[in-house]
Amino acid sequence: MLKIECLKELTKKKSPRRTHKQIWTTLPLEETVKTLFKNQGDSGGMVSKIEATEKEIEAMNVLHEYITIYLGETVVPEFKQRKLKIYSKIIQ
């Protein structure tokens, strides 16, 4: 049963006051802290995912810098020139 369905089912019941513990014990949890670090391979896999994500973030930051420089030096001046030509035609 999905978590949303469990929450809907819990809210439909007559007892409106449910404690936080009761709600979380009835929800099916895929991973808890105990099961997350149960095997050494699980934590190693998590470390590799974190490292891969950090590399992706660094690559995205470099890409962001290149795009910013490209826009500032190439695209914006061309756009500005086109708009100035249109403006000068309107004024004349």
- Residues 69-78: tens digit of each pLDDT: 999 999 999 9
Amino acid at 77: P
Dump pLDDT digits (tens) for 20-53.
555 556 555 555 656 656 666 666 777 888 899 9
The Cα–Cα gap between 90 and 1 comes to 65
What is this structure's pTM?
0.47
Closest Cα partner for 9 from 19, 1, 21?
1
